[in-house]
Chain A
């Protein structure tokens, strides 16, 4: 296979390159069509071919999506929700992963089993109970200590963020990463009289950084993509995440394809930017975690 040194212009290389190009084109076409459509006017969409170039770059759809559509605000909400959720998740998971891998404490195996069970818990199947619990949070949204009747944390940022604050998968992954580091690393520090906290921050976290990035990105991505939970919890447009914004925008502007395509593209730009900057870290992280 790939180890054999072949001639640069072997027929095999050319055939495989053509196949790969064909695959790439298939994956790229929907995005290309969406971008082309977003630059057209509504009448142009129905009179010209979908793969034809627009008459110049017309950004009016983007402008309309951001101003009338309110997508600037939706994007900000999504960044807040996914940002805070994944940040808390990665800090809690890194600490717990370290403890589960490196620090013997009473009840460690019980905690580990809990992590394994929650790992297999599909989040979309918890929405009903989470909804009922969030609605009953004491002293919020008109609730008393035990009496419900109010709305609790429904329709609030804390309620929106709650499900993304932890995931069993993150804890599990961080534990696996810490297990891969040699224990002797800590010994020199212990001899020098460092506390466990100092050891963790000064020695282990820097070594595990590529994995931290992978877990952070996974957490961010899953919170960013979620539609079901914000659909249930956010009832006012000021709290809509970008995914909820997309679905309501679609219902409002049926068949105005340039607008809808522009909304789909605008909603993806932050993720493209994040992957662009995180790409090297992500690749390092994947190589680090490596599926050995």
Chain B
């Protein structure tokens, strides 16, 4: 978990000794031939696995996206027909919008909460280790198990939350059954489950901010807010990119919470794109259609990742 996409270069020490630059002398040349053979051997297992498990599937998916295919009958090529059907399908666009809503809110609120908690835990307070462990604990609960726990918490008649609300004289809330509230409920579950991990990432990044920077800001008379904006945020930018990228891509692939808690309902209010792909592909057996849908979303994720990386690079330079 380094700053993957940002560290474009290698450290100066390593660059000076770049193995790709041949050193003079016969001895060196002999060694380089050995390195070349070893390099191919070392990379082979991962390369073969990547080709079989990533490259072949994406090409297969691209191929089937141009076919009509239902598992029961052989696939036949139909050109862009499935893409046309996809783009004119209101359910697809609806699921795209619901997924954007989910990912957008989760990432923005999630970063605010996990960074806020991380900053809070770097202050001199009582029991930092305890708080760190407790907030990390939901991370050990899987999405499916966490979803089940919250289905009980959200239970409209006898669940803890509504029991508490009604004992205070409040109304009974349909956490998972009213279209406007179901998605926020799923967001609460995801936020509860994910925050601990990203808090740890931010804590690791905050620990690496040089103390002198805080001291300089202090001497300059900067208050806590200015210190945060001008010292902390720029220093943790690589961690921020990592969190933004992994959390967004994870949220765009949301499946388990919706599958377990609402099955996409009520009235498709929580139908995520991946759940829609699952339903189209494996319940309606429209595999060509589902392939086209997967490929479109894949292209979107690819573009989004590149935009993020570019955006952060230009802001660093």
Contact = CB atoms under 8 A, between A and B. Distances in A.
Interface in A226-273: 227-228, 232, 242-243, 246-247, 250, 257, 260-261, 263-265, 267-268, 271-272
A177 B121 CA distance: 28
Nearest to A121: B54
Contacts of B55: 114, 118
B256 interface: yes
A291 B239 contact: yes
15 contacts: A20-B120, A21-B131, A27-B134, A30-B146, A30-B192, A104-B19, A120-B249, A124-B274, A127-B277, A166-B46, A197-B38, A247-B259, A271-B140, A275-B139, A286-B201
Nearest to A271: B140
B150 to A, nearest CB: 7
B165 to A, nearest CB: 12
B39 interface: yes
Interface string A1-44: 11110100000010011011101100110110110010000000
B138 A103 contact: no
A112 to B, nearest CB: 10
Nearest to B117: A23
A203 B249 CA distance: 36
Interface stretch (B78-86, B169-177, B204-212): B204-212
Interface stretch (B104-112, B179-187, B296-304): B296-304
A286 B204 CA distance: 6
Contacts of A101: 10
| Most chain B C-beta atoms within 10 Å of own C-beta, residue among A28, A181, A285, A291 | A291
Contact of A261 (B40, B57, B149, B201): B149
Given A96-B47, A228-B278, A173 B143 contact: no
A263 B145 CA distance: 8
A125 B45 contact: no
Given A20-B125, A247-B259, A290-B2, A30 B149 contact: yes
A16 B236 CA distance: 22
Interface of A: 1-4, 6, 13, 16-17, 19-21, 23-24, 27-28, 30-31, 33-34, 37, 45-46, 49-51, 88, 91-93, 95-96, 98-106, 108, 111, 114-115, 117-130, 132-133, 162-163, 165-166, 168-169, 171-173, 176-177, 179-184, 190, 195-197, 200, 214, 218, 224-225, 227-228, 232, 242-243, 246-247, 250, 257, 260-261, 263-265, 267-268, 271-272, 275, 285-287, 289-292
Instruction: Bin chain B's interface residue count.
Output: 35 or more
Contact of B1 (A125, A129, A173, A246): A173
A111 B44 CA distance: 10
Given A2-B123, A286-B201, 9 more contacts: A23-B131, A24-B130, A34-B149, A125-B253, A127-B277, A183-B14, A196-B35, A243-B143, A246-B148
Contact of A122 (B20, B253, B282): B253
Contacts of A250: 148, 151, 260
B255 A124 contact: yes
Contacts of B255: 124, 227-228
A96 B214 contact: no
> Could you tell me the dominant secondary structure of chain B's interface residues?
helix
A105 B152 contact: no
B291 interface: yes
Contact of B58 (A34, A108, A121): A121
Given A126-B57, A271-B142, A1 B227 contact: yes
B53 interface: yes
B141 interface: yes
A32 B143 CA distance: 17
Interface string B221-254: 0001001000010001011001000000100110
Contacts of B123: 1-2, 13, 16
Given A3-B214, A4-B218, A20-B125, A122 B301 contact: yes
Contacts of B298: 121-122, 125
